Amino acid sequence: MIRDVKFTKMHSLGNDYIVINEYQGIKIDEDLKGEFSRKVCRRGFSVGADGVIFIQRAEDKNCDVKFRIFNSDGSEAEMCGNGIRCFSRYVYERVLKKNPLYVETLGGLRICEMDTEGDKVRSIRVYMGKPKFQLKDIPMVVEGKREEDVFLNEYLHLKNNILDRIKLSVVNVGNPHAVIFLEDNGIDMDFVRKNLEVLGREIENHEAFPERINVHFVETLGRDEIRMISWERGVGYTRACGTGATASAVVAHKLGKTGDKVVVHLDGGDLEVEIKENGAYLKGDAVLVYDGILREAL
């Protein structure tokens, strides 16, 4: 039985998390983290959230702290753009007064720069690393393609009765993403919202993606502006996805649809993505909602 676990509820653009500070010691045993996350993320029956974030001591000597995140289905994700901003604010205000913060993640090093006012963090700019496009980095398996190939604005065949194929691109920005531009598929946002459950779930679990994938439907609004709806791997529909915003902006830039600075409009609000030679940068806020105690966690 796991009792009296202190936690903090945070969100970024409505993408919400349960944050547990394990910097001074493990609170949830490793073999229970998945089950714990499934239980406490269940809305209406527990705290409810899109995921659980654990703050731990870094194992990499070049990093200050370690970020881990579990989805609401209990699976562990490599990275989360909105989650790492919540993590960074918590760490700066309550664990380590360090800026920038070098963060160890399963998706690689992330560097988080805080814009502060006094002791409070107002916004966070995250170095998201260099995007990877080769199929081996997604991973994606496509007949006739090698693992060193890319998949950009090509058709993926589906088995539902809504669309028999969809044109998409894949990229890894610490975790894998499929980016679908509405204008290249002859669909609009109303169509996406109506059919998101079917299309999002099928693409996430498509046989081409042995480790599943995050799915984003994107509308290009101009050279510096896109709109996005997200279906997150292991979660489903979410109001916002930071890595998804990064992936969508990166792919839009690579396809020549946008410039190197893009505002991404999500259902939960806006994020800013900047693409440089050394990689992509994501900027947005993070909100601390409340502290609590789980009297009976498992």
Q: Which of 41, 63, 80, 86 is catalytic?
A: 80
In angstroms, the CA 13 to CA 223 distance is 23
CB 244 within 8 A of CB 232: yes
DSSP state for residue 257 in the 8-state scheme:
S
In angstroms, the CA 219 to CA 252 distance is 10
CB 152 within 8 A of CB 138: no
Active site residue 80: yes
In angstroms, the CA 140 to CA 147 distance is 8
Q: Which of 41, 86, 112, 241 is catalytic?
A: 241
Active site residue 86: no
In angstroms, the CA 107 to CA 130 distance is 11
The SS3 of residue 282 is: strand
Question: Annotated catalytic sites, by residue?
Answer: 80, 241
